[in-house]
Amino acid sequence: MRCRNVGILLFKDVEVLEFSGPYEVFAVANRFSDSNLFNLLTISHSGEPLKANGGLQITPDYPMHDCPDLDVVIVPGGDGSNEIMQVEEALNWVVHQAQHAEKVMSVCSGALILAKGGLLDELESTTHSRRFRALEQMAPATTIIRDARFVDNGRMMTTAGVSSGIDGALHILYEIHGREICDKVARFMEHNWSRKGAVTPASRAPEKPSLHQPS
């Protein structure tokens, strides 16, 4: 079974739960597997230590210019999202990863970073309720789904408020490795996970007509 590289973007004043929640999902999944399913990597623009919201100090594993190829990319939000999206090299890195990764998922205002890179154009998306207006202005060609916990377009995926990154990460786990391990992880985390309220390719599919037509 192939081990996937999961890269989590970090930046000054990133929201802690928005990166640590998805990190925990993939880390716990590794515990329930005979071999590592995911290689977890944290990445920042320079690779230098930084402080998240609340003052938590973090030392990323890699700078952007030196990180390995990624299969899954997590783009969290937070107070620092506006600043990082103005850094051309960082935005170009996100766009490059989105063109090559199997899955790119934003959490909360991380959707604005994707929008800034033009990655949500002509797609459905969501974000924190307080950021709907900003997302509308930044990506007028995206359709915002305001009541969705997460919106999956296939490669590009956006999630709603702060804790929704956990649900999104569980959805990715479900897609790649199935329901059994996903349920184990959710139970261990004591997280009441449900796909209800999610917008996915499967939920968009038209219902198949019944074989038994009414007489």
Cα separation, 8 vs 101, in Å, equals: 13
Assess whether pLDDT exceeds 90 at residue 174: yes
Q: Which residues of 165-180 are buried (b: 16+ CB within 10 A; e: fewer)?
A: bbbbbbbbbbbbbeee
Q: What is the CATH number of the domain that holds 162?
A: 3.40.50.880
Q: Does the residue 165 lie in any domain?
A: yes
Position 195 in a domain: yes
Which domain covers residue 77, as residue numbers? Answer: 4-204
pLDDT at 135: 98
Number of domains in the chain: 1
In a domain, 31, yes or no: yes
Residue 64 forms part of a structural domain: yes
- Assigned domain for 214 exists: no
Token couple for 95:
């766009």
Cross-strand pairs, 105: 74, 157
Residue 209 lies in a domain: no
Task: Answer whether residue 94 is part of any domain.
Answer: yes
State how far the Cα of 54 lies from the Cα of 155, in Å rounded to an integer: 32
**pLDDT grade for 200, boundaries at 50, 70 and 90:** confident
pTM for the predicted model, two decimal places? 0.92
pLDDT computed for residue 214 by the predictor: 43
Give the model's pLDDT for residue 78.
Answer: 96
- Name the one residue in this structure whose structure tokens are 């059994």: 180
Q: How confident is the model at residue 38 (pLDDT cuts 50, 70, 90)?
A: very high
pLDDT, tens digit (0-9, with 9 covering 90-100), for 88-117: 999 999 999 999 999 999 999 999 999 999
Residues of the chain with pLDDT > 90, as a percent, come to 87
